[in-house]
Amino acid sequence: MTDATRILRIDASARTDGSITRALTDSIIARFGQAEVTVRDLANPLPQIDGDWIAANFTPAEQRTPEQAQTLALSDELVAELRAADVIVLGAPVYNFSVPAALKAWIDLVARAGETFAYTETGPQGLLTGKRAVVALASGGTEIGSDIDFAGRYIRHMLAFIGITEVEFVAADQLAIDAEGSMRKANEAVAALAA
């Protein structure tokens, strides 16, 4: 048995070389020392949900056909990765003020009623509690946390929706305006993270 922190690393940048968010996620994970790291690289695209997926998802598990179970197999795998993780380290560039389409596809596959959230009398309740997320965001011109940042707010909302409310951001924002200052600020934020 190991007591190592279990990390789920999610890279959403389309760039596999020269990606700021990938470099930041490397640095963030290094802060945890000896950790078990599962990597989900969204540069290897995930399928979009479709009518067959929706039908399978809304069929009770005990009534699903083998074909429906197969349709949900990847989604089940992604949810299992989240459940197994103590910490989610997510690297995401800001594309056109929001998240990359690849990250939205991942969110659509893991935000499942009865699996990662439940409907209650008081509204939706996240089921993946007790986890921590560290999110590295990079942008050319968008200031993270500003009125035009639809990426950071959306990521925070969706993580909370599935129960992950301890969320920290490392921002390398406005790189096109002050790359050196932005990277210095991001690296200082990484150095200040508690492991």
pLDDT 10s digits, 146-181? 999 999 999 999 999 999 999 999 999 999 999 999
- From 67, 157, 154, 83, select the one nearest 115 (Cα to Cα): 83
Please tell me whether 13 is known to bind a ligand: yes
**What is the per-residue pLDDT for 2?**
57
In the predicted model, what is the mean pLDDT of residues 35-48?
96
Instruction: Express each pLDDT in 15-31 by its tens digit.
Output: 999 999 999 999 999 99
22: how many CB neighbours lie within 10 A of its CB?
22
Q: How far apart are CA 183 and CA 69, in angstroms?
A: 44
Sketch out the chain's domains with CATH numbers: 5-191 (3.40.50.360)
pLDDT level of residue 3 (50, 70, 90 thresholds)? confident
CB 94 within 8 A of CB 149: yes
Average pLDDT, the chain: 96
φ, ψ of residue 88 in degrees (nearest 5): -105, 125
Instruction: Express each pLDDT in 47-79 by its tens digit.
Output: 999 999 999 999 999 999 999 999 999 999 999
